[in-house]
Amino acid sequence: MLTANVRGPFATIRAFAPLLKASAEGVVVNISSGAAQRGSGSSIIYGASKAALDTMSMALARALAPEIRVVVVAPGMVHTGFVPGRSEEAMLKAAMATPLKRQIEAADVALAVLSCVTHLHFTTGSIVNVNGGGHL
């Protein structure tokens, strides 16, 4: 889990940093999870690895600035069949517990990533929550 969620992104960013710097508009968007902030979820090590990714992303935002921005998108429970055993009932219950009271779709996460790249030009070292206000 740590290899996939921390070491992999770090090695990828390190490999591409020269190209990103040369582009004059370099941006890295790492995908985290609300589990990193809540300390909950389907797996303790999963949340811990995403929390490590969040911290690493903040450090990289400082180290790679000003040429490269680093932003984190942290979705809540996304309405997909990705997690085995997660029922529709559980998904709906989680959605109803948020202020926006609807399920998070994959398109919501994709739009957040796109926004980080195309619109949030003065954002780095930040976590963009895509959770319907579930952190409130």
The set of catalytic residues is 46
- Within its chain, how far is the Cα of 94 from the centroid? 18
96: phi then psi, degrees, rounded to nearest 5: -70, -15
Helix (H) or strand (E) holding 59: helix 44-64
62: phi then psi, degrees, rounded to nearest 5: -70, -45
Helix (H) or strand (E) holding 71: strand 68-75
Distance separating alpha carbons of residues 124 and 10, to the nearest angstrom: 16
What would the two tokens of residue 114 be? 């796109």
